[in-house]
Structure 1
Amino acid sequence: MCRISKGWLAYLTVKDKKAHLYIKDLHERYGDIVRIGPNELSVIPKDTAATVIGPKGLPRGPYYNSRAHEGGVSLDGIRDPSLHAARRKPWARGMNSTAMKYYEDVIREETTTLLRVLRERKSEKTDISEWMSFLSFDVMGRMSFSSDLGMLKHGRDDHGLLNLIEHAVTDAAWISHIPWIIPLLKYLPSASKSWEDMKVVGATLVKRRVQDGSTHPDLFHYLMDEDGNEPVKPSLEVCAGDGMLAIIAGSDTAATTLSHVCNEALRLYPPVLGALQRRIEPETGGIVIGDHFIPAETQVSLYAYAIHRDPRHFWPIPDQFWPDRWLSQEKYVLPSGDVIPLDQMVNNREVFMPFSTGPMVCAGKNVAMAEMRAVISSIVQQFDMKVEDQCSLSKWEGDIHEVFVTSRGSLPVFLEPRFG
């Protein structure tokens, strides 16, 4: 099917939103390089990441065309490396150490609100997945537009953002596989409605931010170049698109042990389960990946989900959560009790790429890691947590979907405060 059209992957994306599992299965059955489209390959050989998406890697492929819109294109949709580098400059200022101090204050304040709300719900069955979404949206709303979305305070999504973004990213995910359909979307209102609605939300947030201003330099401050660092100010439409990108990307996602826990979670379920697609330009004449020559004008995709679970990169138990694999020690004790020496461990950190890598690495990586550390450490310190039953945990994993960003289902838990 894949040799004829990528419509098959588009169908799988709409049908069950688990194309990443299909790709992993293809590699397990057919090897390191598999065909996933008429002119596209998915590759997982050793050292592939640097060749494809490293500092001297390939430019993005047409998979990213779905990120474009009439008002411009958000950062993640820019394919030209030089244009991407120029557009990334205000993002870099918006993610520097000075900006991070304010964002970390926002994360602490919103995490405190989360802990208070969860404490009020002690002994009740609580959908912790939903509350994590509320936290992420409240953090990113304040961080991006100085806008208080109030999801934690009200315990609900009064703006309908969760549902809106779910539909928008799902549409973007299937359209990405068949970007030739983009000009036809104007004749398919249902397929483009979610993104039109997203543009309205973005414009509303920008309008409110411009009217109300901000007491702190938020991400919009840097994207809009309010300090006057760029020769030409970007349009409000472009800033709205980039600001909404930050909210969407952040809606998913100190101590050494905590870092290992975060790394292991990101290894198993990276924020982007789908393709990191690149295109081999005509002037290159083609490239060599592993022992294979790949001709020019071929799309090459990396699926972090498949790479992170390849036993040649992470062994033993590559499909299990085992944070100890990130330790540096002489021997390791498996969850089963078996002991293996260091020389039998495989932990290829060079292919660990939950936020991509190279010049197009996720601009918000540091914010995502700061939020993960703050939330995990705070909840573990304050609460004992139990899942409703083992079936709930298995169902939650089964409900993890690949739709541009990683989407997850409900996870009912019981929380008991550790103190008082």
Structure 2
Amino acid sequence: MLPHVLVPVIFAGLTSHWMFNKLEPRALLHFILLLALPPTLLVPLVIRHMSNVLHAILFTYCLYLLSLMTSVATYRLSPFHPLAQYPGPVLCKLTKLYLAGISMGGKQHLYYSELHRRFGDVVRIGPNELSFRDVNAIIPMMGSKGMPKGPCTRRAWNRAFSTSALKDYEVVVDNRVSQFVDILGTKLGAPVDISQRLGWLTFDIMNDVMFSAGGDTMKYEDREDTSRLLRNAQPMALLMAHLPWFSEIYLWLPCIGQGLRSFRKYASERVSERKARGCNQMDVFYHLIDEGGLEPHAPSHAQILSDGGLAIIAGSETTSTTLSHIIWFLICHPKAYLRLQAEIDDPKNNSGVPASQARMPYLNAVINEALRIFPAVLSGSQRAPRIDSGGQSIGYHFVPEGTSTVVHTYSLHHDPRYFSPLPDAFIPERWLSSEEQLALEPELFGDKKNVFRHNTAAFIPFSIGPSNCVGRNLAYQEMRMVICSLMSKFDMRFEKGFDVGSWEESILDYFVVQRGRLPVILTARNT
């Protein structure tokens, strides 16, 4: 009796594993059918050898699932797996659930970094996923002949952030920065959470740039609690990035993911309101919905909604986070603070317009150094070989088709092979000329014991290639304008008793960064 029952059930489990590998199902329905249909069909066979129907059902399903999971685990850990040559934690090789669980704690960037310290430049971080910490992987993975990043970037995004479009946005950004400074001027002498207020500023800017209206977060101190919407949406979005199949379960279960649901509802309302209102100027949304009629086919509502939500989060949170890091670094490093302040105060360097600010060497050095230590997207973004390509070579490594890859930005930026000395330290001078380095920091850059490395090819805070961040230039423009306005109007110091180390501890990597309080005291400058 036993062989008649065991053999077909075990064979069904092994066959289902083969089908999973062969067909690579993505839809939740296909998963359910592969998991439930075979044992359901086998239950009548088992019932004939068992007196209890319930026992027969439990026996069939348990044996089938055990056979399937054993086969999967054995294959993923075996030398026959396409990624068997790459080192990594056993649990990461077995299931993506392990890394997804770690990521929910908000410290995935530190976990990835630790894995690279333990295992080297290429680490297997999932059953079919690799993380790279190698400058030689950047161009093959992200360059013009590299791997796609999901759907190709639409031409509309490039038009929305072209040079001429950025010129139009200057007035919008300038008005919001002036409002920001005026509001801070009413808070002198009292603790101000500058991180929170920078979030409100960039959110208002993004609303103006994206939708031409709708941003009064600074004025009313976020009475609609949009900051919470942005914050609560991010963990669930990251979980679904690690486990794409979970997105369908999420849609079926209204009891989970309320933060992401609320944000999507908000984004949908903003998109619908903007479409109904129309616009007399070319904001970002003008290009995304192709109001100019330049595309052969109009974008779908789903695409527009996705683009709108992405722009709200990526366009506001990344910039405010970097600005918050910059202020934290500057107050922690008084020498850098005074050097930047002197450059801003000098009318030969700063005429008050974005074009002159873009040429300020120390200002750009400070921004780049903050982005190096804490890139806006700490863990980078996934790439995968093109479908039917058979795979792709990344330097000396071959990545089979069906494998996800990532260049881990945080690990790359902290690698002493590319940035030395002191790769974890805030040293804006590393971005200056050798003459300026020796003049400003002779003990550091004049010491022949120090090996100076500054490989800008390893600096990718906005990614590179066809799928890089199209809002990069706008972000730089915003950051320069905000820093120059803040430091020309105010002196800043931390609130008494503030634990300086708590800032770095508060950083949570949910694709975009969540951060804690940054309480500062502002005093007016007499310039």
TM-score over 0.5 (shorter chain) = yes
User: Hey, what's the Cα distance between the residues in 2 that align with 1:119 and 1:224?
Assistant: 39
Which sits farther off after the overlay, 290-299 or 393-402?
Answer: 290-299
User: Hey, what's the Cα distance between the residues in 1 that align with 2:380 and 2:369?
Assistant: 20
Please say if 1:36 is aligned against 2:117.
no
Structure with more relative contact order (C-alpha pairs < 8 Å, separation 6 or more): 1
User: Structure 2 vs 1, CA of residues 191 and 313 (structure 1 numbering), >3 Å: closer, same or farther?
Assistant: farther
- Structure 1 position 280, deviation (Å): 2.7
Q: How does 1:113-152 map to 2 (within 5 A)?
A: 113-152=179-218
* One-letter amino acid of the structure 2 residue matched with residue 46 of structure 1: V
Please say if 1:349 is aligned against 2:456.
yes
**1:249-278 deviation per Cα after TM superposition (whole angstroms, max 9, x unaligned):** 122201122111111111111111124211
Q: Is the 8 A contact 1:203 1:237 kept in 2?
A: no
Structure number with greater Rg is 2
**Aligned twin of 2:290:** 225
- Structure 1 position 113, deviation (Å): 0.5
User: Structure 2 vs 1, CA of residues 351 and 389 (structure 1 numbering), >3 Å: closer, same or farther?
Assistant: farther
Selected match of 2:399 from 286, 291, 294: 294
* One-letter amino acid of the structure 2 residue matched with residue 400 of structure 1: I
- Structure 1 position 47, deviation (Å): 1.3
Please say if 1:19 is aligned against 2:108.
yes
- Structure 1 position 21, deviation (Å): 0.4
**Aligned twin of 1:329:** 434
User: Structure 2 vs 1, CA of residues 294 and 341 (structure 1 numbering), >3 Å: closer, same or farther?
Assistant: farther
- Structure 1 position 183, deviation (Å): 2.2
User: Hey, what's the Cα distance between the residues in 2 that align with 1:110 and 1:49?
Assistant: 36
Q: How does 1:4-83 map to 2 (within 5 A)?
A: 4-14=94-104, 16-60=105-149, 79-80=150-151
**Aligned twin of 1:200:** 265
- Structure 1 position 336, deviation (Å): 9.7
User: Hey, what's the Cα distance between the residues in 2 that align with 1:136 and 1:90?
Assistant: 22
User: Structure 2 vs 1, CA of residues 307 and 250 (structure 1 numbering), >3 Å: closer, same or farther?
Assistant: same
User: Hey, what's the Cα distance between the residues in 2 that align with 1:352 and 1:118?
Assistant: 33
Selected match of 2:511 from 397, 404, 412: 404
Per the normalisation by structure 2, the TM-score is 0.71
Q: Secondary structure at the match of 2:304?
A: helix
- Cα RMSD (Å): 2.2
Greater helix proportion: 2
Instruction: Give the number of equivalent residue pairs.
Output: 395
Please say if 1:100 is aligned against 2:100.
no
**Aligned twin of 2:335:** none
**Aligned twin of 2:242:** 177
**Aligned twin of 2:520:** 413
Gaps of 5+ in 1: 61-78
User: Hey, what's the Cα distance between the residues in 2 that align with 1:373 and 1:419?
Assistant: 21
Q: Is the 8 A contact 1:270 1:406 kept in 2?
A: no
User: Hey, what's the Cα distance between the residues in 2 that align with 1:93 and 1:59?
Assistant: 20
* One-letter amino acid of the structure 2 residue matched with residue 218 of structure 1: D
**1:209-252 deviation per Cα after TM superposition (whole angstroms, max 9, x unaligned):** 23433342111111111111112222344323212211111222
User: Structure 2 vs 1, CA of residues 121 and 279 (structure 1 numbering), >3 Å: closer, same or farther?
Assistant: same
- Structure 1 position 348, deviation (Å): 0.9
- Structure 1 position 331, deviation (Å): 7.4
**1:341-389 deviation per Cα after TM superposition (whole angstroms, max 9, x unaligned):** 6993211111211111111001111111111111111111111110125
- Structure 1 position 290, deviation (Å): 4.3
**1:49-108 deviation per Cα after TM superposition (whole angstroms, max 9, x unaligned):** 111111211123xxxxxxxxxxxxxxxxxx14xxx14xx211111111221122111111
User: Structure 2 vs 1, CA of residues 390 and 325 (structure 1 numbering), >3 Å: closer, same or farther?
Assistant: farther
Q: Secondary structure at the match of 1:9?
A: helix
User: Hey, what's the Cα distance between the residues in 1 that align with 2:394 and 2:158?
Assistant: 31
User: Hey, what's the Cα distance between the residues in 1 that align with 2:99 and 2:306?
Assistant: 26
Sequence identity (%): 37
Q: Is the 8 A contact 1:384 1:418 kept in 2?
A: yes
Q: Is the 8 A contact 1:110 1:138 kept in 2?
A: yes
Selected match of 1:268 from 373, 380, 388: 373
Per the normalisation by structure 1, the TM-score is 0.88
Selected match of 1:313 from 406, 411, 418: 418
User: Structure 2 vs 1, CA of residues 204 and 36 (structure 1 numbering), >3 Å: closer, same or farther?
Assistant: same
User: Structure 2 vs 1, CA of residues 344 and 331 (structure 1 numbering), >3 Å: closer, same or farther?
Assistant: farther
